[in-house]
């Protein structure tokens, strides 16, 4: 009787572990596909990020800003004069 | 009967022993090779290339970064109409059709390159043609948003003998190991459909992206300096020119520019000499810009004061078989040290140099860093050593007093002069302020004091003399009124076959501002200007023009008092 109980427990344990392995194995099997999809999406986003960064840096470069300024009609500063407003001046003081 | 049992037993013992032996051989002795063979059947080894680090200016704008580009290749065995394809691709790739046609005609090949560094837009246009023989290989390339600005300072990225990316010259060369990162390797196990198996995925080992350099370089000052230097070289008809701006209190290099230069985007179209940064490699006789170093040394040694007079300055000075004249053949009896600097008097400087004497001259020059590399973090710095004491003649001592007969690089001169601006303390120049690691950590590079050639008192006195020199010297017409600027012109003769070229000079101006609390020191050097040979009429106007922009940029307003202590 005692041997039968022990044998039964072994069989039961083997069945339970087999079921667990089947369940988790099934879950992991499709994870590889998801990983592949996520990696593809990440690569696409990284690539788009690099392309946008390239555009941003080009537009915000001083070279481009100077060229755009000239097209808009801005000119190089030629005067070395400077207007300095001291604190004693009444200009733009609050009432 | 018994022997039959023993025989069978022995048979099984031998059999099991054989099995154990074989298992031992497979699992212990031959384990690694068999394991590799197994992995090669179901696993894929990938090399994960690192992304090279950026180079950013002080406002965190990347002047060097990476972009996606493509190598366009073709399989000639799948090409259907060579002529049609060549003509179509020629207009997109901007390569002549004959070159493309020649590649597509190689029918014994399965892979031929057609073009490199193709951008995303062009790649999409080619892909839209749906040509069955076309393919694209993504390759990162260096990208320069500010085009060729500071090209010789930055350097470029080429290939080494093994075809790996490698930095050459400038910052790319000096900091190549920091910038390039480390290649990683990973193992990916695929199932029957080619999808990665999670349970067998190993983490990548060793891959690390390159580190990013954050510079002291101020993009605005760099842009202004480059633009005005280029315009000045053209305006004054010089063959070349260079300039740099530095913070004398920390040694931080705020800008550096030289022309002619090169475009790092097409570095292969230029010669090696174009890659070299002349500011740290080219030597020249500095002329009058060297005089403040000698004068401040003599004041520091207590040999002269600003009001000391020169007893030999009423006529040319004879030294051995040579006669030393002033640049304009004007002589001022009993001239003071202040006036010697204002008039850039060679006879006066000969007097000061002779008073200093050879031992002290060599000692002070060494403390000023003359004859040694400054230690700036750029690849390729060179500094000609000072002559040994035994090789100095009396005429060498005399001419060194006014900056002839001695060779320095512009970087040596700028660093030495900065000691006058920094209370007598010389700092080590640095371009890089900090290094950023890929995981977000920052490694600062602190300022480094190298030496103190002169006392703070001597530095202060020399500063006042230089303010007077700027206000009353030959370059006073170009000075910025309302600012106390400490500066000196230089018009150096160029050695030619044992004598000096009478028609060509190296014109320069060096100075710092504001004199009381210097925010920057700058030197501008023009090589062989043709509109005028004088530094006061060529390099000085460029210097003051850039200085005006820098003072505006820093918000430093002019004051009513722009005179020196001696004028008050």
DSSP sequence for B110-141: S-EEEEEEE-HHHHHHHHTTT-TTEEEEEEEE
B81-120 pLDDT tens trace = 889 889 989 988 888 889 899 999 988 888 899 988 888 8
Separation CA B134–CA B345 (nearest Å) = 73
Does residue B195 come out as left (phi exceeding 0), alpha (psi in the -120 to 50 range) or beta?
Answer: beta
The stretch B197-214 carries a mean pLDDT of: 73
List the single range of B203-207, B284-288, B531-535 with lowest mean pLDDT: B203-207
Domain-located, residue A95: no
Q: Are strands B165-168 and B184-189 parallel, antiparallel or unpaired?
A: unpaired
Burial of A31 (0-12, 13-18, 19+ CB in 10 A): middle
- Residue where the block lists tokens 């023993």: B6
Domain-located, residue A83: no
**Does residue B459 have a pLDDT over 70?**
yes
Question: B62 to chain A: which residues are within 8 Å by CB?
Answer: 57
How many residues comprise chain A? 95
Q: What percent of chain B has pLDDT over 70?
A: 94
Give me B184's structure tokens: 């990683």
What CATH number is given for B219-267+279-553 in this structure? 3.40.710.10
Domain-located, residue A94: no
The stretch A65-81 carries a mean pLDDT of: 82
Q: What is the pLDDT of residue B47?
A: 74
Q: Is B195 on the interface with A (CB under 8 A)?
A: yes
Fold classified for B49-210: Penicillin-binding protein 2a (Domain 2) (3.90.1310)
**Does residue B300 have a pLDDT over 70?**
yes
Domain-located, residue A82: no
Separation CA B353–CA B364 (nearest Å) = 11
Q: What is the pLDDT of residue B406?
A: 94
Q: Is A51 on the interface with B (CB under 8 A)?
A: yes
- Residue where the block lists tokens 């390797």: B185
Q: Are strands B520-527 and B499-513 parallel, antiparallel or unpaired?
A: antiparallel
* Cβ contact, residue pair B196, A35, below 8 Å: yes
Q: What pLDDT band is residue B41 in, cutting at 50, 70 and 90?
A: low
Q: Is B201 on the interface with A (CB under 8 A)?
A: yes
Q: Is A45 on the interface with B (CB under 8 A)?
A: no
Give me A75's structure tokens: 């000119």
Distance from CA of B232 to the nearest CA of A (A): 15
Domain-located, residue A8: yes
Domain-located, residue A63: yes
B56-76 pLDDT tens trace = 999 999 999 999 889 999 999
Give the residue with greater pLDDT, B257 vs B566. Answer: B257
Q: How many CB atoms within 10 Å of residue B248?
A: 24
**Does residue B186 have a pLDDT over 90?**
no
Question: A28 to chain B: which residues are within 8 Å by CB?
Answer: 198-199
Distance from CA of A49 to the nearest CA of B (A): 10
* Cβ contact, residue pair B198, A35, below 8 Å: yes
> B46-75: b or e for each residue (b if 16 or more CB lie within 10 Å)?
eeebbbbbbbbbbeebbbbbbbbbbbbbbb
Q: What is the side-by-side strand order in the sheet with B252-259?
A: B252-259, B240-247, B520-527, B499-513, B486-496
The number of distinct structural domains making up chain A is 1
Give the residue with greater pLDDT, B568 vs B495. Answer: B495
Mean pLDDT over each residue of chain B, to the nearest integer = 91
Look up the domain containing A34 and give its range.
2-71
**Does residue B446 have a pLDDT over 60?**
yes
Question: A63 to chain B: which residues are within 8 Å by CB?
Answer: 145-147, 149, 223
């Amino acid at each position: 009787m005692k041997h039968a109980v022990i044998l039964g427990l072994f069989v039961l344990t083997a069945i339970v572990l087999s079921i667990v392995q089947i369940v988790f194995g099934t879950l992991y099997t499709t994870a590889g596909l998801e990983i592949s999809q996520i990696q593809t999406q990440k690569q696409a986003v990284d690539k788009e990020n690099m392309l946008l960064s390239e555009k941003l840096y080009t537009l915000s470069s001083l070279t481009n800003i100077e060229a755009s300024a000239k097209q808009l009609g801005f000119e190089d500063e030629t005067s070395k004069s400077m207007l300095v407003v001291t604190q004693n001046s009444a200009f733009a003081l609050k009432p | 009967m018994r022997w039959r049992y023993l025989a069978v037993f022995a048979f099984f013992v031998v059999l099991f022993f054989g099995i154990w032996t074989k298992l031992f051989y497979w699992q212990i002795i031959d384990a690694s090779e068999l394991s590799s063979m197994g992995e090669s059947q179901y696993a894929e080894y990938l090399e994960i290339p690192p992304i090279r680090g950026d180079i950013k200016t002080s406002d965190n704008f990347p002047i060097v970064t990476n972009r996606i580009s493509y190598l366009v290749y073709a399989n000639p065995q799948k090409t259907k109409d060579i002529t049609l394809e060549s003509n179509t691709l020629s207009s997109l790739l901007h390569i002549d059709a004959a070159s493309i046609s020649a590649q597509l005609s190689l029918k014994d090949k399965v892979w031929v390159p057609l073009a490199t560094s193709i951008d995303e837009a062009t790649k999409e246009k080619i892909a839209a043609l749906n040509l069955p023989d076309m393919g694209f290989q993504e390759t990162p390339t260096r990208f320069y948003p500010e085009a060729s600005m500071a090209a010789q300072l930055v350097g470029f990225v080429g290939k080494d003998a093994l075809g790996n990316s490698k930095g050459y010259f400038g910052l790319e060369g000096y900091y190549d190991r920091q910038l390039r990162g480390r290649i990683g390797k990973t193992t990916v196990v695929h199932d029957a459909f080619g999808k990665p198996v999670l349970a067998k995925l190993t983490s990548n080992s060793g891959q690390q992206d390159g580190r990013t350099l954050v510079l002291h370089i101020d993009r605005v000052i760099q842009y202004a300096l480059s633009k005005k230097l280029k315009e000045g070289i053209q305006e004054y008809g010089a063959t070349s020119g260079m300039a740099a701006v530095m913070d004398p209190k920390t040694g931080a290099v705020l800008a550096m520019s030289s022309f002619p230069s090169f475009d790092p985007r097409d570095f292969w179209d230029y010669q090696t000499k174009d890659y070299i940064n002349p500011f740290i490699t080219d030597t020249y006789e500095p002329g009058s810009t060297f005089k403040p170093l000698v004068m401040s040394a003599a004041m520091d040694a207590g040999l002269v004061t600003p009001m000391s007079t020169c007893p030999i300055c009423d006529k040319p000075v004879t030294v051995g078989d040579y006669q030393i004249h002033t640049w304009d053949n004007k002589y001022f009896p009993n001239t003071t040290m202040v006036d010697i600097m204002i008039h850039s008097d060679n006879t006066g400087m000969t007097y000061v140099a002779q008073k200093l004497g050879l031992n002290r001259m060599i000692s002070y020059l060494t403390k000023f860093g003359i004859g040694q590399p400054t230690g700036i973090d750029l690849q390729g710095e060179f500094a000609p050593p000072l002559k040994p004491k035994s090789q100095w003649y009396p005429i060498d001592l005399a001419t060194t007093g006014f900056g002839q007969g001695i060779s320095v690089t512009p970087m040596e001169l700028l660093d030495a002069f900065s000691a006058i601006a920094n209370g007598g303390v010389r700092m080590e120049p640095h371009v890089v302020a900090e290094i950023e690691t890929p995981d977000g950590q920052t490694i600062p590079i602190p300022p480094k004091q190298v030496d103190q050639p002169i006392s703070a008192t001597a530095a202060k006195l020399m500063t006042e003399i230089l303010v007077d020199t700027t206000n009353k010297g030959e370059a006073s017409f170009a000075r910025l009124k309302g600012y106390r600027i400490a500066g000196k012109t230089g018009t150096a003769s160029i050695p030619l076959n044992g004598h000096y070229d009478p028609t060509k000079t190296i014109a320069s101006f060096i100075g710092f501002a504001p004199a009381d609390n210097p925010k920057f020191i700058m030197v501008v050097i023009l090589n062989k200007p043709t509109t005028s040979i004088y530094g006061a009429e060529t390099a000085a106007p460029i210097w003051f023009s850039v200085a005006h922009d820098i003072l505006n940029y820093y918000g430093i307003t002019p004051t009513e008092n722009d005179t020196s202590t001696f004028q008050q």
